[in-house]
Chain A
Amino acid sequence: MASHEFRTDRVEVAFTVNGKPVGLAVDPRATLLDTLRDELGLTGTKKGCDHGQCGACTVHVNGRRVNSCLSFAATHEGAAIDTIEGLGTPDNLHPMQRAFVELDGYQCGYCTPGQIMSAVALLAEPCGESDAEVAECMSGNVCRCGAYQNIVAAIQSVRKENAT
Chain B
Amino acid sequence: MNSFTFTRARTIADALRSARGDVKFLAGGTTLVDLMKLDVERPAGIIDLNALPLAEVRRTPDGGLHIGALARNSDVAHHPDVVRDYPLLSQALLSGASVQLRNMASTGGNLLQRTRCVYFRDAAMACNKRSPGSGCAAIGGFNRNLAILGTSAHCIATNPSDQNVALTALEATVHVTGSNGERSVPIGDFYLLPGQTPERETILEPGDLVTSVTLPPPAPGAGSTYVKLRDRASFEFALASAAVVVTIKGGVMQRARVAMGGIATKPWRNLDVEAALEGQPATRERFADAAQILLSDAKPQSRNGFKVELAKRCLVHALSVATAVT
A29, B39: Cα distance in complex, Å: 12
Within A115-164, which residues are at the interface with B (CB < 8 Å)? 118, 121-122, 125-127, 135-137, 139-141
Contacts A65-B100, A139-B234, A140-B101; A70 near B10 (Cβ below 8 A): no
Q: Is B84 an interface residue (CB 8 A)?
A: no
> Contacting A67 at CB < 8 Å: which of B9, B74, B101, B234?
B101
Listed stretches A16-24, A72-80, A81-89, A96-104; interface member: A72-80
Q: Report how many residues on chain A are interfacial, defined by Cβ distance under 8 Å.
A: 39
Residue of B nearest to A79 (CB): B50
Q: Is B306 an interface residue (CB 8 A)?
A: no
What is the interface residue range for chain B against chain A?
35 or more
Q: Is B177 an interface residue (CB 8 A)?
A: no
Can you identify 23 A-B contacts, CB atoms within 8 angstroms? A1-B10, A3-B8, A3-B17, A3-B18, A5-B5, A6-B6, A6-B7, A7-B5, A11-B6, A28-B5, A29-B3, A29-B4, A51-B37, A52-B100, A55-B100, A65-B99, A65-B100, A70-B30, A70-B101, A71-B33, A72-B46, A72-B48, A75-B50
Q: Which residues of B contact A136 (CB under 8 A)?
A: 233-234
> Contacting B235 at CB < 8 Å: which of A64, A66, A70, A140?
A140
A24-45 to B contact mask, C-beta < 8 Å, 1/0: 0000110100000000000000
Sample of 12 further A-B pairs with CB below 8 A, known A3-B15, A6-B7, A66-B103: A3-B10, A6-B6, A31-B33, A51-B34, A51-B37, A58-B100, A67-B100, A67-B101, A70-B30, A70-B104, A72-B29, A137-B99
Contacts A3-B9, A9-B3, A126-B78; A50 near B37 (Cβ below 8 A): yes
Residue of B nearest to A27 (CB): B3
B6-26 to A contact mask, C-beta < 8 Å, 1/0: 111111001101100000001
Q: Is B97 an interface residue (CB 8 A)?
A: yes
A28 contacts B34, C-beta separation under 8 Å? no
Q: Which residues of B contact A4 (CB under 8 A)?
A: 7-8, 10
Q: Is A2 an interface residue (CB 8 A)?
A: yes
A35, B133: Cα distance in complex, Å: 38
A64, B34: Cα distance in complex, Å: 20
A28, B32: Cα distance in complex, Å: 14
B99 contacts A140, C-beta separation under 8 Å? yes
A65 contacts B48, C-beta separation under 8 Å? no
B99 contacts A125, C-beta separation under 8 Å? yes
A66 contacts B3, C-beta separation under 8 Å? no
A135, B26: Cα distance in complex, Å: 31
Q: Which residues of A contact B3 (CB under 8 A)?
A: 9, 28-29
Q: Which residues of B contact A11 (CB under 8 A)?
A: 6
User: How near does chain B come to A141, taking the closest CB pair, in angstroms?
Assistant: 8
B9 contacts A139, C-beta separation under 8 Å? no
Q: Which residues of A contact B5 (CB under 8 A)?
A: 5-7, 28
A50, B1: Cα distance in complex, Å: 13
A2, B7: Cα distance in complex, Å: 11
Q: Which residues of B contact A51 (CB under 8 A)?
A: 34, 37
